Structure 1
Amino acid sequence: MMRTTGLGLLLAVCGFGLAGVGWAAPVSVPLGLEGLSRQRVEWRDHGAARVCEGVLLGDLLARAGAPVGEAVRGEALSLVVVAEAADGYRVVFSLGEIDAKLGAGGMLVADRCDGAALGADEGPLRLVAPGEARGARSVRQLTALTLRAVED
């Protein structure tokens, strides 16, 4: 029996073949915030200053088995996260954008903003992308996160 460790195990968990030849299938990322370190981010939402609380998107991805840190290189840079809202609105982030060592990082799956739980018009979860000039990729009423490879 062959035992896989290190980067090979991480890639296998994420659906990569051990030879790095591709992505097996999209991975649904659980949206449960329990057990992860809570963070706060300040950002501007349509010109208004806001402070939101939740967990880092990168931490949710890591818990789901996504490559993180030094493993975000090579084929892992062709992975994207699709965030979907209750109304079907979808946005995409590359894994490189989300990783704090490569991109802006700091993207948050929030359950509270400005000291209160999110209301029905934007919650119960919201994906916040604090470093962006416009809030178009800050998804209200977040219902799903999917990690997938960019296909040819």
Structure 2
Amino acid sequence: MKKILVILLILAAFYYWSSGETNTAAIVEKPTQDLAYSKTNRINDEIELAYKNRQSNVQVSGTGTVIKLLRDDNEGARHQKFILRLSSGQTLLIAHNIDLAPRVNSISNGDQVQFYGEYEWNNKGGVVHWTHHAPNGHHYGGWLKHKGKTYQ
């Protein structure tokens, strides 16, 4: 009798935990089509989540508006730097290695820039670097897109 009771308890526990996982997945899953929310906003949501969770070393892509052009960082590998504002209002520093990829010469405040690179957390919104090809193949290659031209 005890063996039957133990088996029934195990089966009940298994049913409870397996059914709970299915329900949780259904609640968390994003809808495949959300007409009020563009694909760009969903991509930028991933960056916002990385910022909120203080995550680094995360491959991200997105689009933002240039709000400030900064001086090049010429110490070590040279980097072109500028700040983007995402549709959410979050700001993001782009650090584009101009020793490995061409400079984006025609960039101005107010321009839209698409990017793919590695996100690093900081308290100002984060930094995206590795926006260039990966010369040794040990990292994902990234890019910037500005006015229809890709820089990698």
Q: When the two structures are superposed, what TM-score results if normalisation uses the length of structure 2?
A: 0.26
Question: Which has the higher relative contact order, 1 or 2, with Cα contacts under 8 A spaced 6 or more apart?
Answer: 1
Question: Which has the larger helix fraction?
Answer: 2
Q: Which has the larger radius of gyration?
A: 2
